[in-house]
């Protein structure tokens, strides 16, 4: 079973996404901001990270940059309301797997996650 780290400051969003991922037989770890996400990704064996961009304490791109610097190579999906081309370019430089605009279709997102993890 794959383990997914959800990093988002919205408890409601994390809960809804967690429900869909657990229904797909995935294990979920949650973190409420980039700092907590960075720690969770380092302390746990995760197969994928799904992160919000705009969060308190540390934003998603900064967290991803720190993870990449530390050699964490798992697929990362960035979920955000932002459509800024410069931010997307930064995500490409960090080898993020997907840039998903919120609110996502949770069924389609879950299918994309299982496909990236070769679980489909």
- Over residues 88-116, the pLDDT tens digits come to 888 888 888 999 999 999 999 999 999 99
**DSSP structural state of residue 118:** T
**What is the rounded CA–CA span in Å between residue 119 and residue 102?**
24
Q: Both tokens of residue 50? A: 């799904």
**What's residue 72's pLDDT?**
93
Structural domains of the chain ordered from first start: 3-115 (3.40.50.2300)
**DSSP output for 76-108:** EEEEES---HHHHHHHHHTT-SEEEESSP-HHH
Q: Both tokens of residue 31? A: 């973190």
Beta bridge partners of 3: 27
Percentage of residues of the chain with pLDDT beyond 90? 82
Predicted model pTM: 0.94
Check: CB of residue 91 under 8 Å from CB of residue 98: no
């Amino acid at each position: 079973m794959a383990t997914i780290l959800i990093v988002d400051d919205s408890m409601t969003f994390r809960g809804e996404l967690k429900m869909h991922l657990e229904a797909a037989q995935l294990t979920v770890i949650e973190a409420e901001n980039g700092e907590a996400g960075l720690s969770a990704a380092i302390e746990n064996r995760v197969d994928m990270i799904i992160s919000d961009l705009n969060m308190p304490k540390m934003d998603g791109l900064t967290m991803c940059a720190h993870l990449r610097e530390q050699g964490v190579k798992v697929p990362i999906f960035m979920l955000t309301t932002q459509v800024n081309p410069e931010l997307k370019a930064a995500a490409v430089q960090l080898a993020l797997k997907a840039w998903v605009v919120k609110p996502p279709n949770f069924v389609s997102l879950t299918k994309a996650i299982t496909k990236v993890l070769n679980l489909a």
